[in-house]
Amino acid sequence: MAARRLNNPLALAVLTLLVERPMHPYEMSSTLKERSKQESIKLNYGSLYSVIESLLKRGLIEVQQTTREGKRPERTVYAVTDEGRDVMVDWLSELLSTPAKEFPQFEAGLSLMPALGVDQAIALLERRLDQLRRQHEVGRRMLRQASELGLPRLFSIEHEYELALQTAEIEFVDELLDELKSGAFPGVQIWRRIHELRSTGLSMDEVDARIRDEFAEEYPWLDEQ
Partner DNA sequence: AGTCAATTACTCGACTTCGAGTATTCGATG
Partner DNA sequence: CATCGAATACTCGAAGTCGAGTAATTGACT
Residues between 57 and 76 with contacts to DNA, criterion CB under 7 A:
69-76
Distance set, CA 20 to CA 15, 78, 80 (Å): 9, 12, 9
3-state secondary structure of 94: helix
Span of 45-53, 59-67, 71-79, 94-102 interacting with a second copy by CB under 8 A: 94-102
Residue selected from 19, 63, 209, 216 as contacting a second copy according to rule CB under 8 A = 19
Our CB check for a second copy shows the closer of 57 and 153 to be: 153
Does residue 88 belong to the site contacting a second copy (CB under 8 A)? yes
Does residue 26 belong to the site contacting a second copy (CB under 8 A)? no
- What value, to the nearest 5°, has the Cα angle with vertex 180 and ends 175 and 182? 95
Closest CA to 43 of 27, 55, 32: 32
Residues 203-222 that bind a second copy (CB under 8 A): 204, 219-221
Taking the C-alpha atoms of residue 187 and residue 192, their distance in angstroms, rounded to an integer, is: 9
Does residue 124 belong to the site contacting a second copy (CB under 8 A)? yes
Residue 65: Cβ within 10 Å count: 11
> Cα torsion at 7, 10, 12, 14 (round to 10°)?
-140
Residue selected from 1, 149, 182, 200 as contacting a second copy according to rule CB under 8 A = 149
Residue selected from 30, 57, 106, 141 as contacting a second copy according to rule CB under 8 A = 106
List residues binding DNA (CB under 7 A): 3-4, 6-8, 10, 24-27, 30, 42, 44-47, 49-51, 54, 69-76
